[in-house]
Chain A
Amino acid sequence: MRGYLPDFDVHVPASLGEALDLMAQRPGIFTPLAGGTDLMVVYNAGRLKPTCFLDLSRLAELRGIEEDATSLCFGALTTFTELRECRAVHQHFPNLVKSARATGALAIQNRGTLAGNIANASPAADTPPSLLAYGAELELVSPRGLRRVAYDQFHRGYKSMDLAADELLTRILVPKPAGRGFHYFRKVGTRQAQAISKTCLAAYARIEEGCVAELRIGLGSVAPAPVRARNAEAALLGQPLASLPVAAAREALLADMSPIDDIRATAHYRSVVTRNLLGQMLRELASL
């Protein structure tokens, strides 16, 4: 049974400034709405409480992908389709292209947004592991000003974020990898399209003189929020590709996860398969 329609109001601000003013005047009242591909599902299932939405989808200030010498800056409303089609994303962030392709299917990719994927805060979202691997930063704006937060500090627990009631996530900044890079992304779901992840691992490594000089690994669906695999990273950082400590890294990865049993997979399955993904990633890394 769907929700009761008159319980759901929608305000359509004409500018980002108006949106921020509305949120400041009535903090905690508005739920930002972009592509609707998550919120409408909850509504259709009858699990959405009466809500006053703030429809951000028409705000030009939140659109577009900007490139400069050192980074790509994604407007909050950047869709998965735009990620798939942007040449600079293919060139610098292949994991983000794979993440976007792995999200739903085309009809979802045309509507769903990068900021929505982040702020919906599902542990199973497919772009967050890649954003963690690439060291993304988030730009948060309120009438009090603008601040930037490292994405790996943003999620604080299940659906809990470093985001104040009057703040909007406006842009996602991702530094371009420099030097000799290695990119890995794999999502495991029931099928390639539409399925929600059972587990997901994205990694970016920079190789210098045959060693792992920089490494970030992002995980999905194995913790209350998307997480960095800091223990596994520590086991691998500085190590030579010729003799990567695979067993130690797989063991360390256990401390990075807190998987649960749910309708999609068991905790045991997630634990085993995520370690296997790390093993596959390290085999590919070693063969560079």
Chain B
Amino acid sequence: MADRIDLTLTVNGADHRVSVPPFARLLDVLREDLRLTGTKEGCGEGECGACTVLLNGQVVNSCLVPAVQAQGAVVVTVEGLADGERLSSLQAAFLAHNGAQCGFCTPGMLLSATDLINRCPNPSDDQIRDGLAGNLCRCTGYAKILDAVHTAAADTGAPR
């Protein structure tokens, strides 16, 4: 019988301390312990990217991260992208280009695209496809998402 651990982590800039089983999924810690339900569960096996968050600045599938490995970590979820009511440029671009339809993949898409623009401020189509290859969307056909990422990258001020 595994003892619970005291997990401390910073999520969207706020420090949290929760008592969880060591092998609890980061996804469940976020959704159930911290009530941050923006992060979605799709496949539960690292295929679909719906549960994507940033863990210490890297995109991860939160369904594949045991809580014990998030000890002391800095996490960003979709709730951390907007500044109050002000959307991030990427969120605004998704809205403008209809980059979301049912919306289930959108939190993961936004996190992967945020990471992509951080690493690669002026991405080519191929770089966007590579950066978003782990995020499945069954609605949009991806073209609108690519358009949104291009627009957001341009808005971020990188020379094209």
User: Which A residues fall within an 8 A CB radius of B?
Assistant: 2, 5-10, 12, 33, 36-37, 40-41, 43-45, 53, 55, 57, 81, 101, 104-108, 110-111, 192-194
Contacts and interface: CB of A to CB of B under 8 A. Distances in A.
Given A5-B21, A107-B61, 4 more contacts: A5-B23, A5-B24, A33-B66, A111-B61
B64 A41 contact: yes
Contacts of B91: none
A108 B23 CA distance: 18
Contact of A10 (B25, B45, B68, B115): B68
Contacts of A81: 58
B1 interface: yes
Contacts of A44: 25, 44-45, 63-64
Grouping DSSP codes into helix (H, G, I), strand (E, B) and loop, the A interface class, with mixed when no group exceeds half, is: mixed
A8 B134 contact: no
B22 interface: yes
30 contacts: A2-B44, A5-B2, A5-B21, A8-B21, A9-B2, A9-B3, A10-B23, A36-B69, A41-B45, A41-B46, A43-B23, A44-B25, A44-B44, A53-B23, A55-B68, A57-B69, A104-B46, A105-B133, A105-B134, A106-B59, A106-B133, A107-B59, A107-B64, A107-B112, A108-B64, A110-B58, A110-B60, A111-B61, A111-B64, A193-B134
B55 to A, nearest CB: 8
Interface string B1-15: 111000000000000
Interface string B109-137: 00010010000000000000011011100
A43 B66 CA distance: 11
Q: How large is the interface on B (under 10, 10 to 19, 20 to 34, 35 or more residues)?
A: 20 to 34
Contacts of B131: 106
B49 interface: yes
Given A57-B69, A104-B46, A107-B49, A6 B21 contact: yes
Interface string B64-78: 111011010000000
A81 B59 CA distance: 11
A106 B112 CA distance: 9
A45 B69 CA distance: 20
Contacts of B45: 41, 44-45
A6 B4 CA distance: 9
Contacts, number: 99
Contacts of A107: 46, 49, 52, 59-61, 64, 112, 134
A194 B133 CA distance: 8
Contacts of A9: 1-3, 22-23
A10 B1 CA distance: 11
Among A57, A106, A194, chain B packs the most CB atoms within 10 A around the CB of A106
B49 A105 contact: yes
B63 to A, nearest CB: 6
B113 to A, nearest CB: 11
Contacts of A7: 1-2
Contacts of A106: 59, 112, 115, 130-131, 133-134
Contacts of B22: 8-10
A12 B25 contact: no
Contacts of B44: 2, 44-45
A5 B59 CA distance: 25
A192 B130 CA distance: 10
A2 B61 CA distance: 16
